[in-house]
Structures are given as structure tokens and as C-alpha cells.
Amino acid sequence: FPEIYFTSDCRPIEHYELEYQKTNCHTLLRAAGGECWEKICDITETQVTISGLKFDSRFVVVRVRAKNKMAAGEFSEPVALETRAYNFGFDASTAHTELKVQGDMVIWEPQGAKSHDPRIRGKEGKSRSATPSPSKRAGSRGGRDRFAGESYTVLGMTMIGGCHYWELRPMADWKSFSVGVAYRASLGRFDQLGKSAGSWCLHASQWLQSSLAIKHNNRAKPLDWLLPQRIGIYCDYDNGDLLFFDVDRLHLLHSFKTKFSQPLLPAFTVWCGGISITTGLQVPSFVGNFLSTNRSLCNLLQ
């Protein structure tokens, strides 16, 4: 990446010549200064792919000119292309009052309790259960944008556009979590992920028994797979692809094919324990392999 497209007038153009620089400069004038340009010559098509670029670099500056046997044209004005990664954090203003956001982590902290560690509670002489039922409602409603009730949810801060990939890891002592995407406008304060037409999620639980399921539009589909220790999420907003992976076992857990029509955000639910996320990741090569396989199967079924 990226792919560059050319246009031409009616003159007999035989090929194009492209030059580019990799730079972290903030201004195009500095970037297009006296540094050496790398060249791609004898381009006969109206598009070309620049390979070997560093992921998440600030700018790639590109210029192009047309050539034939007689002469070469003037170079176009330099154009700066960004190759930034998709980095996002948790939007603490949306977090349920029993969720604590700490950098790239979300930790479940029930109100009115110093700890849900059964060993500590035992020392305090408390006989009640160390882990409250997930149906227990929060005592405080918080702000109007904050999730409440049984929706132990927090959203990401950055809208999804284009193709992006991020990962989630459950922390120690977790009991239940969900990860997915949601339309912010259609997700009410008390709505749980996967129970509306505007949210899609993978739900994992080891409360009472281990289970893994996909949820969307108030429908759940159980998955016959071990609970993953690292989950990869790939979302292509324009093509309507949402994929969940067990990264350690390189297994596709589930794929959604839909048509996203509203602003979309990463979404998470945590009950007991916590989760951590890793963002700013390049889309792994295995994602493309799974996409190609899925598309081939779809074509065979048509």
C-alpha cells in the first residue's frame, strides 16, 4: 500500500514515472525538498502499488509524470499520503459506573465493595458471595451518556472507517466479557451488546460454565470452541466485514457480513475481572487468507 491512480489527457503517453519520499515532516514543502526521491519507472498501467513502506509512518510524498519516446512531462505537484494506524482508547465518559478505565485496560469494580477477591472478603468475615450476580443493577446512574443498569459497557473513542484490526486479552479472574462494534446512536444507556440490530459482538463467559457465542439483533449463536486468550477483531466498514479470531490458534471464530449505515464504534462489556486492548496494529496476513477463503466459499454456494 498505498495504491496510486493516474489520469491522462489526449496526448500519446507511453508510460509513467513515479517518485516518492518517506518522511515524517509536517509540511509538504519540507518533505519535497532536496532529499533523494525513490523511483518507479516504466509504469504502463494507470495505477501502481508502493511496497516496502513502514506501517504507521507519518507521510509518504508522491509525484508523477508522463513520458513518451520524445519527451517527459513536468512532475505533478507533490501529494502527501498518510499511513497512520487505527489507534483508539476507551471513552471513559460512556463507561458504566462499575467499570474503571485505566489506559488500555477496563476493570470491573463493583460499587460499595473494597474488593471482589474471595480471599480478602473471607478475612473480613463476610459470608455473602464474592461475585455478585450479573443481574445486579448499579446503584448510581451517572451522566446521561454513561451506560447503566445491566449494561456493563464502555465504547471506544474513535469512529471506525476503512479496514482496521485490534486485539483483546482477558485479564485474570474474569467471568464475562463481550467485544464487538455498535452504532452509537442506536445504543441506549441500558442496552446490552448484541441485543439490538445496531450492535454485533462476541460474548465469552466462564461464570458457572464456559461458553462462547456470537450475538446480534437479540439472537445468540453458540460457538464450539475453547475460550480464547487473545481475540483479534477485524472490521472493514466499507465492505461490511466483521471478523473475530482466536489469534493464538489462528482460528476464525465467526464472520459477519452486513452493510454498515451509521457511525460505528468499538464496544466492550466487562463483568468481573477486566480486559486489555492493543490497537494501532497492521492487519495481519492471516486475515486476508480467511477473507479470500470465505469469498471463495460464497461464490461456490451461489
> Of 33, 51, 81, which closes a domain?
81
| 176-222 pLDDT per residue, tens | 999 999 999 989 999 999 999 999 999 999 999 999 999 999 999 99
Q: Give pLDDT tens digits for 6-44.
A: 555 555 788 999 998 877 665 554 545 556 888 999 998
CATH classification at residue 259: 2.60.120.920
Last residue of a domain, one of 52, 81, 110: 81
Residue 210 and residue 71 in one domain: no
DSSP string, 213-271: EEEETTEEEE--SPPPSSEEEEEETTTTEEEEEETTTTEEEEEEE----S-EEEEEEEE
Domain boundary among 81, 106, 132: 81
Same domain as 178, residue 56? no
Asked if 27 and 157 sit in the same domain, the reply is no
pTM for the whole structure: 0.71
80 vs 271, which has greater pLDDT? 271
Q: Same domain, yes or no, for 122 and 197? A: yes
112-154: pLDDT as tens digits: 644 444 433 333 333 333 344 444 443 334 456 899 999 999 9
How far apart, in Å, do the first and last CA atoms of the chain sit?
31
In angstroms, what CA-CA distances link 199 with 106, 194, 205, 252?
A: 20, 5, 18, 20
Return the pLDDT at 302: 44
For residue 105, which of 246, 233, 268, 245 has the smallest C-alpha distance? 268
165 and 130 in a single domain? The answer is yes
Give residue 299's pLDDT: 52
Q: Please tell me whether residues 21 and 161 are part of one structural domain.
A: no
Structural domain including 16 reads: 3-81
Most confident range, picked from 92-106, 127-141, 284-298: 92-106
Number of structural domains found in the chain: 2
